[in-house]
Amino acid sequence: MYSSGPERLAEKQRKILRAVALTYRRVMRASYGPAATRAEVSRRDQKRQEEALAAATAEYRRLDPSAPDDPLEVSGEVNRIIAAAINADPGWFWGTDRTLDARRRG
Does pTM top 0.85 for this prediction?
A: no
CA 33, distance to chain mean position in Å, is 22
pLDDT at 81 exceeding the cut of 80: yes
Give the SS3 label for residue 90: helix
Between CA 24 and CA 12 the distance in angstroms is 19
CA 59, distance to chain mean position in Å, is 10
Among 3-7, 41-45, 75-79, top mean pLDDT goes to 75-79
